[in-house]
A and B are shown apart, each in its own frame.
Chain A
Amino acid sequence: MLSAVLRWLPRGGQAGIAGEARIASLLLWALVAVLLLGLGLPLLFIFAKSVQDGDGGFVCLANFAQVLQSPGLLRASSNSLQLGLTVTALVLPLAFAFAWALLRSRLWGRGLWRQVGLSPLLAPSLMPAISLVYLFGNQGLLKDWLHGGNIYGFWGVVLGELFYTFPHALLIIMTALSAADARLYEAGRVLGAGPLRQFLTITLPGVRYGLVSAGLVVFTLVLTDFGVPKVVGGDFNVLAVEAFKQVIGQQNFPRGAVVGLLLLLPAILSCLVERHMARRQQAALTARAQPFAPAPAWLRDAGALLLLLAIGLLLLALLGVGVAASFIKYWPYNLDFTLAHYQFDTVDGGGWSAYVNSLQLATATAVLGSLLVFVGAYVCEKLPGMALGRSLLRFLAMLPMAVPGLVLGLGYVFFFNHPANPLHGWYGSLGLMVLCCIAHFYTTAHLTAATALKQLDGEFEAVAASLKVPFWVTWWRVSLPVCLPALVDVARFLFVSAMTTLSALIFIMTPEHSLAAVSIITMDDAGDTAAAAAMATLVVLSSAGLSLLLSLLERLLGRRNQRWRKPG
């Protein structure tokens, strides 16, 4: 498709020079329009809906008052808050310990352990919940451990959310920990600081920013996650599930909008805190920093191995039990192997067609999303002039970070399902879901692409312009090939995210166009836990398979690129 576009564009020459600036601004405003459609307008409609009654009349803050007076919603809010704080407090030390063991030891196979630590990313948040049901549910394998207690409720949700948020915290903390300056540690050692003092005065201050940032991300994720509380929450009601009940169950749109806005609060708060900190944060690594390399110390490495084993096995258990159970006839009474749960004919939720829909959605999101993100980041970072449009595009690119999927999904319901919207017919289609996924995951993808592009010499475009070569040729011949690793990362991230996400899409899918992650909920609701586990397993396998495939592709392309990357 891309080459077709390139062929259509005028080839350098006379038409190109005059039209180049026009094409650049056309591109910029087209991108702004796409993001406004997929992000800005739906969000505006949430605000509008929250101050209207069921028939569209303006009621000012009556909906908010109503929500504040309803005991159920207040309890859900306090539950959500309690849950968010507990999970954040638990996941930060765990993720920090794991990251420390990975980056500050000399253990063999750290790359493998890293993959284990990130493995929850491959699964929808429902997977740990289903595994928990298999382990501690009414017919759970380890039910006796609970001494007559019950996994359904607060602690079940906490466990599930720990699994779900762990890789997100791990990624951020690993980034912070890896930016260590060996010279500081040398100075500390020379001045007589022991390992503990070095840890307290050098390591911890160095990752302070990363820890706070990870805490904010985890808190927001927990508050807006919908999958885990839906499956193992039992009577423990949280805001995210409440929003779903109000909109999909009771069709009470205004109240859903108010709940959605409540969920927007922690995310906006996080963003503000983060921005404030970023301004105070100085560059952790100066150009002259020496990369830190841990010295050999077998005692420390043994401790690190124990840490990795304990946490890694827990993660693998919560992922593996669900996978294993999907191949077992009747848990836990008949443990024979079977593929019967993969014949989804007898259960609700769409079965294999839902899976195929998800694959299509994820592929389209990955392909179109990476293209859009890379063009967008290029326009933002590399093209001259158009200051207003570029800052608008940058703002829209950073906005999704502050918008939980659930809130975005609500916005889509209000905007695209509005009878007066000319795009009304698009509602429930694959195209709209692709747009929603791209908008939802835009920030991370944009930052990855922008970071890669920023590392390119800022003078490439100036040189190309002096040689009368239009910018799209330089984009195609230089920027894109050099940024290929980042492009593959973006594609992988978008595919896996689209495959596993639930929060936004559950509001805009229709039963005819079911999706794998949503069908897991449907099947679990209907009591077909084994089928739900089977579908979750399919999602995990597809995500893992594509990641593997892209890694291979990257290595293959890398070999071709080696010639220019390696000096000498």
Chain B
Amino acid sequence: MKPAENGLSDHLTMHGLSRRFGSFTALDAVSLSIRKGEFVCLLGPSGCGKTTLLRLIAGLDLPDAGSIALQARDITRAAPAQRDYGIVFQSYALFPNLSVADNIAYGLKPRHERQRHRLRVRELLDMVGLPGAEDKYPAQLSGGQQQRVALARALATSPGMLLLDEPLSALDARVRDKLREELKGLQQRLGVTTLMVTHDQEEALAIADRVVVMNAGRIEQIGTPAEIYRQPCSRFVAEFVGEANWLPATACGAQQVRVGNHALRLEAVLPPDPALQLFLRPEDVIIKPRWENAPNTVLARVDNISFGGALTRIRLLPEGMPGQVLYAEVCPGMLDRQPLVPGEIVPVELPAARLLAFAGDLPC
């Protein structure tokens, strides 16, 4: 057990986990450590291996190679019951013939201590915000309420770790946002180590302490939500997480690239490839009030403006880059100039500090 930099110890450590189904490699030598009390999200498109990894950790499936250790105890081949976790599935998997109280008390032992269980059930229902629901049956609850019961059941035995398999995907948007917030609050209050699988990048960035982005059975990047969003370390992560502008470019100097007939400067280091793709978040595009001859500034025609509530999305056609579209997202209140009109030519800065370069051709 090696102590991590913040002083907390590793709760769960995976080393070189692989799992193949026939000729399909679901997991390819995955290594990961989760610290005690941490909220980690496994993020990736469907088929990336995130659910397979969760099932290996839960003991519902066995790896072909590699090992899993729980607090330095090897549990690679241990039965699920020997692993000390609670789990919540996307389908909730509540027992339909048992009342809410019986569902939550399902794992409490010994079974005859009804009085003690009743207290514990009440405590858990209060905790998940469903007081007084003891005698209801799952079919009488809404999706969000069922999700809360499933969470209470998973936490009933005070497990050392909570596993969540797309727990919010089956809910509608408003309930999902509310539950997401509550889930995070509950996790911080209990300090339970939590691993959640999701394909929703917004959800992962909002809830996790650390996000693990997976693709094709491998881990692409591990980092805090801000790191994943600001400094994606691979083309896949940059494309998968958030929105971005992609500009085809060619390298011409240590930190200089050419896009169309403009030369742009980057603060980031360029990959060795001569053909590059520049990456820039729409909110990092700066629309200037007036033209000044500054580096990384080009002229662009406003093509279209769409209202999006807090942010206004502007479709720009930069001059000197034929066929290239540039999206900018601006806060209407912070735009230090007259309202934009389609057809207008505006100066636009592509900040050198925000530009990243990746090797390769156009993203699909």
Closest A residue to B159 by beta carbon equals A466
Indicate if the CB atoms of B97 and A561 lie closer than 8 Å: yes
Q: Map CB proximity to B onto A556-568 as digits: 1 under 8 Å, 0 otherwise.
A: 0000010111111
Indicate if the CB atoms of B81 and A465 lie closer than 8 Å: yes
Closest B residue to A483 by beta carbon equals B97
Indicate if the CB atoms of B81 and A20 lie closer than 8 Å: yes
Q: CB < 8 Å: which of B79, B139, B156 contacts A564?
A: B139
Indicate if the CB atoms of A465 and B79 lie closer than 8 Å: yes
A568: B residues at CB distance < 8 A: 140
Indicate if the CB atoms of B97 and A17 lie closer than 8 Å: no
Interface size on B, as a range, is 20 to 34
Indicate if the CB atoms of A466 and B96 lie closer than 8 Å: no
Closest B residue to A565 by beta carbon equals B139
A457: B residues at CB distance < 8 A: 91, 93
Most buried by A among B87, B95, B106: B95
Closest A residue to B139 by beta carbon equals A567
A553 within 8 A of B: no
Indicate if the CB atoms of B97 and A469 lie closer than 8 Å: no
Q: Map CB proximity to A onto B92-115 as digits: 1 under 8 Å, 0 otherwise.
A: 010111110000001101110000
B157 within 8 A of A: yes
Q: Map CB proximity to A onto B159-200 as digits: 1 under 8 Å, 0 otherwise.
A: 100010000000000000000000000000000000000000
Closest A residue to B55 by beta carbon equals A462
How many angstroms from the CA of A125 to the CA of B93 in the assembled complex?
A: 46
Q: CB < 8 Å: which of A16, A459, A468, A477 contacts B98?
A: A477
Min CB–CB distance B54 → chain A (angstroms): 11
How many angstroms from the CA of A17 to the CA of B153 in the assembled complex?
A: 20
A481 within 8 A of B: yes
Indicate if the CB atoms of B97 and A466 lie closer than 8 Å: no
How many angstroms from the CA of A13 to the CA of B163 in the assembled complex?
A: 22
Indicate if the CB atoms of B157 and A467 lie closer than 8 Å: yes
How many angstroms from the CA of A460 to the CA of B96 in the assembled complex?
A: 10
Using A21-B79, A469-B106 as known contacts, say yes or no to A459 and B93 having CB atoms under 8 A apart: yes
Secondary structure at chain B's binding surface: helix, strand, loop or mixed?
loop
A561: B residues at CB distance < 8 A: 97
Indicate if the CB atoms of A465 and B59 lie closer than 8 Å: yes
Indicate if the CB atoms of B97 and A467 lie closer than 8 Å: no
A153 within 8 A of B: no
Q: Which of B341-355 contact A (CB under 8 A)?
A: none
Closest B residue to A563 by beta carbon equals B137
Min CB–CB distance A419 → chain B (angstroms): 47
Indicate if the CB atoms of A468 and B81 lie closer than 8 Å: yes
How many angstroms from the CA of A28 to the CA of B89 in the assembled complex?
A: 28
B111: A residues at CB distance < 8 A: 11-12
Using A463-B89, A478-B98 as known contacts, say yes or no to A564 and B81 having CB atoms under 8 A apart: no
B80: A residues at CB distance < 8 A: 462, 465-466
A332 within 8 A of B: no
How many angstroms from the CA of A1 to the CA of B80 in the assembled complex?
A: 30
A68 within 8 A of B: no
Using A463-B89, A567-B140 as known contacts, say yes or no to A478 and B109 having CB atoms under 8 A apart: no
Q: Which of A3-17 contact B (CB under 8 A)?
A: 11-13, 16-17
Closest A residue to B109 by beta carbon equals A12
How many angstroms from the CA of A463 to the CA of B96 in the assembled complex?
A: 13
A482 within 8 A of B: yes
Q: Which of B316-347 contact A (CB under 8 A)?
A: none
Indicate if the CB atoms of B97 and A463 lie closer than 8 Å: no
How many angstroms from the CA of A166 to the CA of B327 in the assembled complex?
A: 71
Q: Which of A443-484 contact B (CB under 8 A)?
A: 457, 459-460, 462-470, 477-478, 481-482
Q: Map CB proximity to A onto B52-65 as digits: 1 under 8 Å, 0 otherwise.
A: 00000011100000
How many angstroms from the CA of A470 to the CA of B80 in the assembled complex?
A: 10
Using A12-B109, A17-B81, A465-B79 as known contacts, say yes or no to A459 and B96 having CB atoms under 8 A apart: no
How many angstroms from the CA of A2 to the CA of B339 in the assembled complex?
A: 79
B86 within 8 A of A: yes
Min CB–CB distance B57 → chain A (angstroms): 11
Min CB–CB distance B80 → chain A (angstroms): 4
A384 within 8 A of B: yes
A459: B residues at CB distance < 8 A: 89, 91, 93
B95: A residues at CB distance < 8 A: 460, 477-478
Q: CB < 8 Å: which of B87, B109, B137 contacts A466?
A: B87
How many angstroms from the CA of A465 to the CA of B59 in the assembled complex?
A: 9
Indicate if the CB atoms of A462 and B93 lie closer than 8 Å: yes
How many angstroms from the CA of A50 to the CA of B82 in the assembled complex?
A: 54
B121 within 8 A of A: no
B85 within 8 A of A: yes
Indicate if the CB atoms of A464 and B79 lie closer than 8 Å: no
B298 within 8 A of A: no
How many angstroms from the CA of A457 to the CA of B90 in the assembled complex?
A: 11
Using A462-B60, A477-B95 as known contacts, say yes or no to A13 and B109 having CB atoms under 8 A apart: yes
How many angstroms from the CA of A565 to the CA of B109 in the assembled complex?
A: 27
A564: B residues at CB distance < 8 A: 96-99, 137-139
How many angstroms from the CA of A460 to the CA of B150 in the assembled complex?
A: 12
A384: B residues at CB distance < 8 A: 60
B154 within 8 A of A: yes
How many angstroms from the CA of A563 to the CA of B60 in the assembled complex?
A: 32
How many angstroms from the CA of A183 to the CA of B58 in the assembled complex?
A: 43
Most buried by B among A12, A460, A468, A478: A468
Q: Map CB proximity to B onto A528-568 as digits: 1 under 8 Å, 0 otherwise.
A: 00000000000000000000000000000000010111111
A477: B residues at CB distance < 8 A: 95, 98
Indicate if the CB atoms of A467 and B139 lie closer than 8 Å: no
A467: B residues at CB distance < 8 A: 86, 106-107, 153, 156-157
Indicate if the CB atoms of A566 and B154 lie closer than 8 Å: no
Most buried by B among A20, A466, A565: A466
Beyond A12-B111, A466-B81, A564-B98, 20 additional pairs, beta carbon < 8 A: A11-B110, A11-B111, A13-B109, A17-B81, A20-B79, A20-B81, A457-B91, A460-B95, A463-B87, A464-B106, A465-B60, A465-B79, A465-B81, A466-B80, A467-B86, A467-B107, A468-B107, A564-B96, A564-B139, A567-B139
What residues of chain B have their CB less than 8 Å away from a CB belonging to chain A?
Answer: 58-60, 79-83, 85-87, 89, 91, 93, 95-99, 106-107, 109-111, 137-140, 153-154, 156-157, 159, 163
> Can you list 19 pairs linking A and B with CB atoms under 8 Å apart?
A11-B110, A11-B111, A20-B79, A21-B79, A457-B91, A460-B95, A462-B60, A462-B80, A466-B58, A466-B80, A466-B83, A467-B157, A468-B109, A477-B95, A482-B96, A561-B97, A564-B137, A564-B138, A567-B139
